[in-house]
Structure 1
Amino acid sequence: KQTSTALGLLSIFTLCFYVLTTQERGTLTTALLLQDVCSEFRSQFEAGGRLSCTRENDPVRDSSGKQHINKCLMCAEKFREGNLWQQNSSFCL
């Protein structure tokens, strides 16, 4: 019985620790997520300083609530702002 109690307490501690560290790393996680989301457009932007995006209607919305026509246009805006690495919000596709 003591073993199961100890395992239960360890499980609760582990879950709480995971939640706290995940919240603290949110900014880094978001930056890495945005980096991955926009990686397919990075070389085109770096080569010419801009992206040539279509107006294809495939909406994406970031966590600030701003809706973009498509992922390419969202990444173009993020690259132009120069904030790709410093985002403090999450991104949802």
Structure 2
Amino acid sequence: MLNEMFATEVRSTGVSVAYQAGALIAGFLPLTAGGLLAAAGGGGGGTNIGSVAVLVMVVSVLGAVAVWTGRESRGSDLREVGGEPGAGGQRPGR
């Protein structure tokens, strides 16, 4: 699904950058959740987890918005996605 969002010429780079950016953001979420939990007075007995729950809800909403706004490429020529129709991924002079 992710590779269908990028033109043929930049498909590998686009997928890699998107994947690595997601991993970078997701990598800091446990640290952020731990900081929120510590700032709220710890998690003893599971009583002060409201801020972590809000963090999880915000990330979930962001993910849902990303899925909702993504393009559907079913039935389209993937060589033309994100580029000019008819280009077909060919470079000038070929």
Q: Which has the higher strand share?
A: 1
Q: Which entry has the higher C-alpha Rg, 1 or 2?
A: 2
TM-score relative to the length of structure 2 = 0.31
TM-score relative to the length of structure 1 = 0.32
Structure ranking higher on relative contact order (CA contacts 8 Å, 6+ apart): 2
